[in-house]
């Protein structure tokens, strides 16, 4: 499994998908987000990501996502240091999938 030094999905594409509603969050990630704060908006956090928040890109660990590359960002949002990992689904739909969203 490799790590990469630059994002796989440009932030402009991430932001466009979020604005268009073309994104999903895994149930586990949603539960983790609620554990951070019940008032924290995952959508707002994704839209606030900047290149400075980028940490790494990595091959997906989940076998069913083989071939997908996930971007990891570590922003501080609303006072919370976060670990945010997402991928653009590699199949025909090309939606953004938030894989992980938790406090660092």
pLDDT per position in the chain (104 positions), as tens? 789 999 999 999 999 999 999 999 999 999 999 999 999 999 999 999 999 999 999 999 988 888 899 999 999 999 999 999 999 976 667 899 999 999 99
DSSP-derived secondary structure for 41-82: -HHHHHHH--GGGEEEEEE--SGGGTT-EEEEE--EETTEEE
Q: Does domain 3-103 have CATH number 3.30.2310.40?
A: yes
Q: Which residues contact 91 (CB under 8 A, 6 or more apart)?
A: none
pTM: 0.93
């Amino acid at each position: 499994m490799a790590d990469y030094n630059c994002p796989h999905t440009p932030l402009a594409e991430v932001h466009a998908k979020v604005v268009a509603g073309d994104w999903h969050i895994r149930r586990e990630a949603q539960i983790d987000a609620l554990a951070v704060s019940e008032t924290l908006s995952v959508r707002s956090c994704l839209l606030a990501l900047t290149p400075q928040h980028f940490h790494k890109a990595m091959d997906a660990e989940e076998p069913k996502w083989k071939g997908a590359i996930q971007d990891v960002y570590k922003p501080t949002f609303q006072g919370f240091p976060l670990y945010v990992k997402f991928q653009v689904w590699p199949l025909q739909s090309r939606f953004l999938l938030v894989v992980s969203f938790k406090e660092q």
